[in-house]
Amino acid sequence: MINLILADASEEYLLDLQTLLLSQCGQIQTEIISDIRYLEQFFRESHALDLLIISEAYYSRLEQMGLLKDKNLSANRVFLLAKSGDKPEVLPYAVRVPRQLTSILPALVRKIFLKPTTDEDAPKTRLVTVHSPLGRSGKTTVAMGLAHKLSLLGARTLFISMDRLQSCNWLLGDSRYLLDDHLDIFNPENENIADDIIPLVKRHGFFYIPPFSSPSLSLQIPKETYPYMAQKLVESEHYDCIVMDASCEFSRTVSQLLRMSHNNVIIALQDANSSYKLNRMLLCLDDPFQDRFSFLCNFYRPEMADARSAHLRKLIGDKLIPYNVKLDGEQISRAANDPAFAAVMDELSREMI
């Protein structure tokens, strides 16, 4: 837990900063201090403090009174809220952040406190989840396209569909289904599930588990099977990448999988209804804007009204897949050859290998 102090004369301004940081930085404990006398008393007492975000005027007052000497705050643990400037400035005693750029504070906090991944820490098997709470968003095509691209880059990649009514085989031009004789493998109490599925796996450039012949609900396949199976596959290190095509409903199982995954790809659409649903989902996630989340907009039409938030448009940037009637229903091999689709898969895969 990060202990963080926000200090400024305007309590309303501090409340906005607190909301911004809590929504994007995960486990932090913040205290708002707008009363300068209380701030002075706070620094006279022995309080654990990891980060100080403070106005220049308040900082100068504490410095003049000698109240900062014993707090052991290095230069990158103090952010001065400056009145002017167009970019952060690193000073010998603090990082100076212009007030109009406080939207970058969550990224600065994460940069300081999130431990960078070293080669030793890097997972040998990378778990990737592709999700959208929106039906007909092209989720399965994107998930399969990403598995296809990762396999071309040399990663031994396994694709798994979580949809209750699995129909991913039509994208492969493959009519094979799993035999009912194998259904007992898909059980969250099967400790050997990672080994047991190996004989079932087929290959189409990437590896995949053929779909069930009937909806998983009717076959009594528990939802909990999927995060359990993903965890066991990561531990087994049979594959370099596991790409999970998550079901479009936002359930506890999907939320658990998003938390587990090393990379998450979230698909947005540009219409108002889809944007509303996506925004509602993002509110339920701990920190959907950290580095392991990537966003793209599928079926993009520049002539249509765009209801995505300005923040989401900025995050997506060039990750736009234009609507192409030829790709709506085509097999994955043809989709992968479409330049716009391939460009987005290239960009996403670079973040994972």
Measured between alpha carbons, how far is 216 from 317 in angstroms, rounded to an integer? 36
Tens of pLDDT, residue by residue over 56-103, are 999 999 888 888 776 667 777 899 998 877 777 877 778 888 888 888
Q: If you count DSSP H runs as helices and E runs as strands, how many of each does the chain have, helices first?
A: 12, 14
* Torsional class of 320: left (φ above 0), alpha (ψ -120 to 50), beta (otherwise): beta
pTM recorded for the entire structure = 0.68
- Nearest C-alpha neighbor of 84 from the set 104, 110, 56: 56
Confidence of residue 217 (pLDDT cuts 50, 70, 90): confident
Sequence-ordered strand ranges (E) for 99-256: 126-131, 157-161, 202-204, 206-208, 241-245
Measured between alpha carbons, how far is 196 from 200 in angstroms, rounded to an integer? 8
What is the reported pLDDT for 225? 95
Tens of pLDDT, residue by residue over 10-43, are 999 999 888 888 877 767 888 899 999 999 998 8
Tens of pLDDT, residue by residue over 116-169, are 555 555 678 999 999 999 888 999 999 999 999 999 888 999 999 998 887 788
With beta carbons less than 8 A apart as the criterion, state whether 52 and 79 touch. Answer: yes
